[in-house]
Amino acid sequence: EVQLVESGGGLVQPGGSLRLSCAASGFTFSSYWMSWVRQAPGKGLEWVANIKQDGSEKYYVDSVKGRFTISRDNAKNSLYLQMNSLRAEDTAVYYCAREECGPTGGLVSYYYMDVWGKGTTVTVSS
């Protein structure tokens, strides 16, 4: 079964740090771009960051640049999000998601997030 399981969330004080993990199973993790997406309480979805298969390219939403770092360990089938200098506005459920590329054999490659974890909750509060 294709599965993503996030962990590492919790309560942290403003200015603190937290490291989220996402364990992948049921597919060849090293073949996929991966993303982190978050959702603040009662709000919509916000894409946070993504990383290429070999870790050579990483992209971030402006609001987390310089504070968050996405990384991966293909040998451990794991994705990470190191979050530093946390703010109240970082409070959210954080999802990891697999980026699929399709359609197979097509001339153009479209990316979409087809597998999602259940999320882990991060609360930044004093």
Residues 3-42 within binding reach of another protein (CB under 8 A)? 35, 37
CB neighbour class for 105 (10 Å; exposed up to 12, middle 13-18, buried from 19): exposed
Q: What are phi and psi of 53, to 5 degrees?
A: -55, -45
Asked if 94 interacts with another protein (CB under 8 A), we say no
Asked if 119 interacts with another protein (CB under 8 A), we say yes
Asked if 89 interacts with another protein (CB under 8 A), we say no
Please state, in angstroms and rounded to a whole number, the distance separating the CA atoms of residues 29 and 26. Answer: 8
- List residues near another protein by CB under 8 A: 35, 37, 44-47, 50, 57, 59-62, 95, 100, 102-103, 108, 110-114, 116-119
